[in-house]
Chains A and B, each alone.
Chain A
Amino acid sequence: MIFNSIEFLFFALAFFLLWPILKKQNTTRWIFITVASFLFYAWWDWRFLFLIVGSGLVDYLSGLAMTRFPKNKKGLLAFSLIANLGSLSVFKYSVFFATVVDDVMEWFGVTTTLVDHIPEFALIVPVGISFYTFQSLSYTIDVYRGRLKPTKNILHFFSYLSMFPQLVAGPIVRAKDLLAQLTRYRTPSHFEIWNGMKLIVFGLFQKTVIADNLSFFIDAAFEGKTPFDGTSFWWVVTIAFAFQIYTDFSGYSLIARGIAKMMGYHFKMNFNHPYLATSLRAFWSRWHISLSTWFRDYVYIPLGGSRKGMLIGFLALFTTMFLSGLWHGAKYTFLMWALIHIGFLQLERSTKWTAKLKGKDYLLIPLIFIQSCVAWVYFRADDVEQGHQIIYRLFRFQDMNVGFFKSYFDHLIYLVIALAIEIMIYFKLKRPHLKQWYYQKNLDVYLVSIAIICVIFLRGEGQQFIYFQF
């Protein structure tokens, strides 16, 4: 069930009709959230439920056992890590690891066919497995570190783990942020409902109007279904994909936050206009914030972070980004994407070139954007070879013809709109009087109406959210 579907509309209507009645008592509230969320998740495939229940039980019981048997904390944490990462490896990485082994063996002249011997059940990747596994893991790690008191109520735990707005594509909500919120009920104020409504409408706008309308053009290019092949064409494709993945994912996060707000809960921001970043480091503090901070807190800092010298810093960065690439999927293309980011981040760190240009946003913003675009090529490419070919086309500077704009006007107009919106947001953020004027004139009221109209009459073909596959 995806947010931009009729099924979800019926589901949400039923949920919010019953919510005011069932939210008052802890037990009924938790049961209702858990049952509704399981129904939401089972809509894809009911068999996926076994995995989330299994993963949740491991962490719920590990958390309880850690307080009861503090001497065995390390062992319990290891058990939780092995169980969670093990199931993630089986379902998400078995094909990749088998391919790597086959490729390495072939290198030595031995032909193996491990990839053909993977059990059929392991070939299906349950929707959102990386999201809820990481969310569940953060619970155990925080309990282990003594930063969180484990909940004794299994319903409380599962209402946190499975809460449908963020279940399949984040934001990855930390237990310490949400468990406490779930112990009370509150009726959202009109102000919160208005903010929730804005988040949902703007999220739907990003997803259905921008991302879905761009997808046809991008898919046609990557699948070779278009006669265009020049440098200017591939730059436009790359920029369009940068905006497609941003608006697709950010749109989902906004809708998730909006629904949570309507329920009376608060999820932290997951995107903060990453393409307006003036350094790649800043980009990563604005892009998929819940995952970036997860890796920062549980991988990067424990590995030494940036304060223990250049070498340790590089190794911490390399490991974190490499794992981040692998988190997205079991493909060489995601590792290439991560390697490009590692290269650019290390360059930025060692030369401090962005600091030297501080204040020159008109240079920094496009340069950082171009870096992220180059990496996105591999993220979207079917394989590394295709990624190389596109990079070659981007930088050979041949065929700067823009005739394809006419053929794809109905799609590329949305790229122009997305760019224009980001530019306006830049000025709104930089000029306080514009922001003041925006609120004084209540422009948000008109923008919400216009956005709803666009969602109804300009929506693209309904597509799955890209991040569901992760």
Chain B
Amino acid sequence: MTAKRKITISLLLTACLIVCIKLFVPAPFNNRELKKEFWVGKTHTPQTFPVIAGGDSRVYRGFATEIFEEQTSTRAHNLGYSSAGWSSEYLQFLISKLDTSAAEPTIILGLSPHSFTKRGAKNEHYNTFATLSDFEIFRGTVLSKHLKHFSPFKPEELVKGVFGIEKKSTYFEGFRSGGWVHSHKVPEDSTSAIPSYQKTFRDNHVDTAIISNFVQTIDKLVKRDLRVIIYRSPTTDQMEAIEDSMSGFNETRLKAQLVAVGAEWIDFNNNEYRSYDGSHLHYEAAIQLTEALSKHYLRIE
């Protein structure tokens, strides 16, 4: 076979295979391009909002923006990122997205012990998107819409999809426009996240410098007449006990410091909220939590 013929045949064959895949293979369960569009869009939105929510994955999975907007008739944006920590850069980023000309500009912060550790303050997930070049932002916000047709498959789902095998365990994630990730897992296991947290806290503890910088920033925000609502993200009691005993996190002391500088602290009872993995809230619990936060925001007792 001549080289010219080889080039032609391989290109034709590739085109046929692409058509076959698009026709016969079920679309990927998690479209990576849509996911990219979500994170890039959320980070680089040109808009500012009267209400901003910040924190780690417990916040971006736990604060249902659309429910908050529905309940309060106020625009909000969820700027939570995986393993986010309270570095100055991240706090500044949250403030930069706040519409300070709104009637009552408010920042809602969900805390976890990890967000006060040095590893958390590295903000690797947030930085992945914050440091994108203009072209990458264009790629994430514009090209992703077209590239979503070529989103890659995970081998397991590809095999199961082709052979029609039903999944035994599935992680469902829905990427919503306000920065909320609507999630749940089947089957649920309220202890599955525990081992990785135990490992994380073996050599990664709450840092006093991060705590004091956080308190000082909140103090400055309150002095600028911004409303700051803070809560410890609900999880399971077991997780909270592990976090408190291993990380060096002292909730009572921090709460006292924050309240003293004028932040509004809300306590939640873990037992009222359902977690699918022992760390994050099931989307129904996220809605329930957001409703409670909305009531607090509207000052409804």
Residues of A within 8 A of B1 (CB): 442, 445
Instruction: Find B13's partner among A224, A409, A449 (CB 8 Å cutoff).
Output: A449
A269 at the interface (CB under 8 A from B): no
Cα separation A145 to B14 with both chains bound (whole Å)? 50
Nearest B-chain residue to A209, judged by Cβ: B152
User: Across the interface, do B196 and A448 meet the contact criterion of CB distance under 8 Å?
Assistant: no
The segment from A70-78, A294-302, A450-458 found at the interface with B is A450-458
User: Contact between B4 and A190 (Cβ–Cβ < 8 Å)?
Assistant: yes
Say whether A459 faces chain B, with CB atoms less than 8 Å apart.
yes
Contact partners of A445 in chain B: CB under 8 A: 1, 6, 9-10, 13
Out of B6, B196, B199, B202, which one reaches A194, CB within 8 Å? B6
Q: Is the CB of A410 within 8 A of B150?
A: no
Given contacts A6-B139, A190-B4, contact A449 B10 (CB under 8 A): yes
Q: Tell me if B150 and A190 are in contact (CB < 8 A).
A: no
Closest residue of chain A to B135, judged by CB? A7
Q: Is the beta-carbon distance between A225 and B17 smaller than 8 angstroms?
A: no
Interface residues of B in 166-196 (CB under 8 A from A): 195-196
Q: Give Cα A76–Cα B166 distance, bound, in whole angstroms.
A: 71
Q: Which of B97-105, B153-161, B243-251, B254-262 contacts A (4 or more CB under 8 A)?
A: B153-161
B242 within 8 A of A: no
In contact, A189 and B135 (Cβ under 8 angstroms): no
| Chain B residues positioned under 8 Å from A457 (CB to CB) | 21, 150, 152-153, 158
* Distance from B207 Cβ to chain A, minimum over Cβ atoms (Å): 17
Check if B150 sits within 8 Å of A193, measured CB to CB: no
Bound form: Cα–Cα A453–B13 in Å:
10
Contact B200 A225 (CB under 8 A): yes
Give the A-B contact count at a CB cut-off of 8 A: 78
Pairwise interchain contact A224-B155, C-beta atoms closer than 8 A:
no
| A432: B residues at CB distance < 8 A | none
Q: Report if B7 contacts A (CB, 8 A).
A: yes
Q: List residues 426-470 of chain A with CB under 8 A from any CB of chain B.
A: 442, 444-446, 448-450, 452-453, 456-461
Are B6 and A227 interface neighbours, CB within 8 A?
no
Are B14 and A190 in contact, CB atoms less than 8 angstroms apart?
no
- Say yes or no: is A191 at the interface (Cβ < 8 Å to chain B): yes
Contact B196 A458, beta carbon cutoff 8 Å: no
Q: How far is the CB of B117 from chain A (nearest CB, A)?
A: 13
Residues of A within 8 A of B200 (CB): 224-225
Could you tell me which residues of chain B, from 1 to 25, have a CB within 8 Å of some CB in chain A? 1-4, 6-7, 9-11, 13-14, 17-18, 21
Residues of the B chain whose Cβ atoms lie less than 8 Å from the Cβ of A113: none
Contacting pair A453 B21 (CB below 8 A): yes
The 0/1 profile, CB within 8 Å of B marked 1, for residues 38-77 of chain A is 0000000000000000000000000000000000000000
B1 closest partner in A (C-beta): A442
Q: Does B209 contact A (CB under 8 A)?
A: no
* Chain A contacts for B198, CB-based, 8 A: 227
Are the C-beta atoms of A449 and B17 separated by less than 8 Å? yes
Check: A226 CB closer than 8 A to any chain B CB.
yes
Size of the B side of the interface (Cβ < 8 Å), in residues, is: 33
B90 to chain A, nearest CB (A): 19
- B249, chain A: closest CB distance, angstroms: 19
A413 on interface, CB distance cutoff 8 Å: yes
Min CB distance A45 to B, Å, is: 10
> Is A236 close to B, CB under 8 A?
no
Query: Which B residue sits closest to A409, measured CB to CB?
Result: B156
Which residue, B2, B13, B195, B203, has most C-beta atoms of chain A within 10 A? B13
Contact of B155 among A410, A452, A453 (CB under 8 A): A410
Contact pick for A190, options B3, B32, B196, CB 8 Å: B3
A197 in contact (CB, < 8 A): yes
Q: How far is the CB of B161 from chain A (nearest CB, A)?
A: 12
Judge if B143 is at the interface, Cβ distance under 8 Å.
yes
**Residues in B neighbouring A190, C-beta threshold 8 A:** 2-4, 7
Q: Which residues of A contact B4 (CB under 8 A)?
A: 190, 194
Give A1-44 as 1s and 0s: 1 = Cβ < 8 Å from B's Cβ atoms: 00000110000000000000000000000000000000000000
A329 to chain B, nearest CB (A): 21
Taking a contact as CB atoms under 8 Å apart, the answer to whether A409 and B3 are in contact is no
- Point out the residues of chain B lying under 8 angstroms from A461, CB to CB: 32
In angstroms, Cα B154 to Cα A409, docked, is 10
Chain B residues whose C-beta falls within 8 Å of the C-beta of A450 in the assembled complex? 17
Could you tell me the distance between the alpha carbons of A227 and B192 in the complex, rounded to whole angstroms?
Answer: 10
**In the complex, A452 Cα to B153 Cα: how many Å?**
14
CA distance A189 to B4 in the complex (A): 9
A193 touches B3 (CB 8 A): yes
Give the contacting residue for A453; candidates B18, B135, B199; CB below 8 A. Answer: B18
**Measured CA separation A189–B135 after assembly (Å):** 35
Q: How far is the CB of B278 from chain A (nearest CB, A)?
A: 13
- Bound Cα distance from A189 to B1, whole angstroms: 15
Expressed in whole angstroms, the Cα–Cα distance for A225 and B122 within the complex equals 15
Q: In the complex, what residue of chain B is closest to A460 when comparing beta carbons?
A: B152
Q: How far is the CA of A225 from the CA of B202 in the complex (A)?
A: 11
Distance between B225 CB and nearest chain A CB, rounded to angstroms: 37
In the complex, the answer to whether A453 meets B14 with C-beta atoms within 8 Å is yes
Q: A226 contacts B196, CB within 8 Å? A: yes
Sample of 26 A–B contacts (CB below 8 Å):
A6-B143, A190-B3, A190-B7, A193-B3, A193-B7, A194-B3, A194-B4, A194-B6, A197-B7, A224-B199, A225-B196, A226-B196, A410-B154, A410-B155, A442-B1, A445-B6, A448-B10, A449-B11, A449-B13, A450-B17, A453-B17, A456-B150, A457-B158, A458-B155, A458-B158, A460-B152
Sample of 12 further A-B pairs with CB below 8 A, known A445-B9, A458-B152: A7-B139, A190-B7, A197-B7, A224-B202, A224-B203, A227-B196, A227-B199, A413-B155, A449-B11, A456-B152, A457-B21, A457-B158
In order of increasing CB-CB distance, the 6 nearest A-B pairs are A227-B195, A190-B3, A194-B3, A449-B13, A191-B3, A190-B4
Which residue numbers of B lie inside 8 Å of A, CB to CB? Answer: 1-4, 6-7, 9-11, 13-14, 17-18, 21, 32, 135, 139, 143, 147, 150, 152-156, 158, 195-196, 198-200, 202-203
